[in-house]
């Protein structure tokens, strides 16, 4: 499905936010939430087609990719790679000379009540999708590590798989709209447990309050910030492959990159300094 004008506008704004050198997510968090709130206001009115609204996660993915490039200098890409038993669409990956060093996924969950073909639909809480999304994020790194480790599972013994898998770091980034039916403590505990499966987990939880989105602070999630996770990626790649350069990172996976990230970024950058207006009047 082609990208609609609302999501194209969100992507352009996100790339604009991340275009400054060494930008941290914490620097742009309030602007990020403002953009999301504006998008969801149109969603409530039924102005955004259902298929287009579901692409908002792609815009969040591109923001994370741009922040990684801006902050730590490494250019990660969305790509499809072959795992031990399945193929996987990665939202962010670093594949160099036949080795997948980093694989990760970016998830955006939760949506407000909205109109659909004249019918009023309730909000979709984070709890409705989080378990399914977490299963994907838990399984993918294991399947990839088994593929790139060369582990022979037929000759392996129960309990030995984890110790046999070499370093291939996995990361996930999450933006979750917390609704009235969500158990915040339960959701936070799920992210803490997810760190047993991913090397790094970056989370922003937010809710609607007084006509805006505000970030939710949870003490147990304090280490699991988007900035900390981006810094983890930078440190790992610096230790694994050395300093980034403009010519590194040839992609030689068996399947092509899922979408042309370079063209998306170039298009968005070309409009970075242009006046930004939403499709609907303010």
Computed over every residue of the chain, the mean pLDDT equals 82
Structure tokens at 61: 């993915």
pLDDT for residue 120: 86
> pLDDT-based confidence at 243, cuts 50/70/90?
confident
- Total-model pTM: 0.83
Q: How far is it, in rounded angstroms, from Cα 25 to Cα 203?
A: 11
- Are 132 and 160 in contact by the 8 Å Cβ rule? The answer is no
The dihedrals phi and psi of 4, each to the nearest 5 degrees, come to -85, 170
Cα-based torsion angle of the residue sequence 34, 128, 53, 61 in order, rounded to the nearest 10 degrees: 70
Beta strands, E only, the chain = 77-82, 87-96, 99-109, 114-116, 119-121, 169-177, 200-208, 213-215
pLDDT for residue 2: 62
Q: Is the pLDDT of residue 271 over 80?
A: no
DSSP 8-state code for residue 180 = T
Q: Is the pLDDT of residue 28 over 70?
A: yes
Q: How far is it, in rounded angstroms, from Cα 77 to Cα 75?
A: 7
- Domain spans of the chain, in order of start: 5-152+162-270
Q: What is the pLDDT of residues 192-238, one digit of tens each?
A: 999 999 999 999 999 999 999 999 999 999 999 999 999 999 999 99
């Amino acid at each position: 499905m082609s990208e609609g004008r609302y999501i194209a506008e969100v992507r352009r704004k996100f790339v604009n936010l991340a275009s400054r050198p060494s930008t941290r997510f914490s620097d742009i968090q309030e602007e990020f939430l403002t953009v999301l709130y504006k998008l969801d206001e149109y969603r409530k009115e039924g102005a955004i087609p259902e298929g287009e609204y579901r692409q908002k996660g792609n815009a969040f993915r591109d923001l994370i990719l741009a922040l990684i490039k801006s902050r730590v200098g490494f250019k990660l890409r969305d790509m499809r790679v072959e795992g031990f038993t399945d193929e996987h669409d990665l939202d962010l990956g670093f594949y160099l000379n036949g080795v997948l060093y980093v694989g990760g996924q970016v998830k955006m969950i939760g949506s407000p009540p909205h109109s659909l073909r004249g019918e009023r639909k309730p909000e979709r809480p984070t709890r409705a999708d989080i378990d399914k999304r977490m299963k994907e994020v838990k399984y993918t790194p294991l399947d990839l590590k088994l593929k790139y480790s060369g582990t022979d599972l037929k000759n392996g013994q129960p309990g030995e798989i984890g110790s046999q898998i070499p370093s291939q770091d996995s990361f996930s980034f999450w933006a979750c709209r917390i609704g009235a039916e969500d158990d915040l403590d339960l959701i936070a505990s799920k992210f803490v447990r997810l760190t047993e499966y991913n090397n790094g987990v970056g989370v922003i939880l937010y809710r609607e309050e007084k006509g805006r989105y505000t970030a939710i602070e949870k003490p147990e999630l304090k280490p699991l910030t988007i900035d900390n996770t981006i810094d983890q990626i930078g440190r790992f790649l610096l230790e694994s492959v050395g300093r980034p350069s403009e010519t590194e990172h040839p992609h030689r996976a068996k399947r092509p990159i899922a979408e042309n990230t370079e063209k998306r970024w170039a298009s968005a950058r070309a409009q970075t300094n242009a006046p930004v207006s939403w499709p609907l009047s303010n």
